């Protein structure tokens, strides 16, 4: 158990819908990262937050947005879902730069 909690573990939704994935980082970790992993695209970095502020954006679509709240939990919002958004979404956290990054178990999203 990494200490990073992601919910929900699995969800199935229809195209065009909107979902929210939630992540609770390890206690004391200020950085939260979001990643997408799919068979054809591999592991992709989406976005990083540090202590509530957005730090870097990767290959995150405009239909996707994220935020980190004052209690440091984070949410990834995926809207206007397409079949190609079906993937495993990981959240990870770390204390800060150069520290070990701990991954949650992921949220499986299936868009039908």
Partner 1 sequence: QQPVQSPQAVILREGEDAVINCSSSKALYSVHWYRQKHGEAPVFLMILLKGGEQKGHEKISASFNEKKQQSSLYLTASQLSYSGTYFCGTEIEAYKYIFGTGTRLKVLA
Residues engaged in binding partner 1 (CB under 8 A): 2, 42-45, 48, 55-58, 90, 92, 98, 100-106
Rounded-to-integer distance, Cα 92 and Cα 3, Å: 10
Angle at the Cα of 34 from the Cα atoms of 21 and 111, rounded to 5 degrees: 45
Minimum distance of partner 1 from residue 32's CB (angstroms)? 12
Q: Is the Cβ of residue 15 or residue 41 nearer to partner 1 in the bound state? A: 41
> CA–CA separation, 78 vs 94, rounded Å?
23
Rg (CA), the chain: 13
**14 vs 28, which CB is nearer to partner 1?**
28
> Cβ closer to partner 1: 53 or 71?
53
Kindly report whether the peptide bond that precedes residue 57 is cis, defined as omega within 30 degrees of 0. no
Rounded to a whole number of angstroms, the minimum distance from the CB of residue 19 to partner 1 is 20
| Both structure tokens of 56 | 């870097």
CB of 17 to partner 1, least distance (A): 25
Residue whose CB is less far from partner 1, 18 or 54: 54
- Provide, rounded to whole angstroms, the least separation between the CB of residue 26 and partner 1: 12
């Amino acid at each position: 158990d990494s200490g990073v909690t992601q919910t929900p573990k699995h969800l199935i939704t229809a195209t065009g819908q909107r979902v929210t994935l939630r992540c609770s980082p390890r206690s004391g970790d200020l950085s939260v990262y979001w990643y997408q992993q799919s068979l054809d695209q591999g592991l992709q970095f989406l976005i990083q937050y540090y202590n509530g502020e957005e730090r870097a954006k990767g290959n995150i679509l405009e239909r996707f947005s994220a935020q980190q709240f004052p209690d440091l939990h984070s949410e990834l919002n995926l809207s206007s879902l397409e079949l190609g958004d079906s993937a495993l979404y990981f959240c990870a956290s770390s204390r800060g730069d150069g520290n070990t990054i701990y991954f949650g178990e992921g949220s499986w999203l299936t868009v039908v």
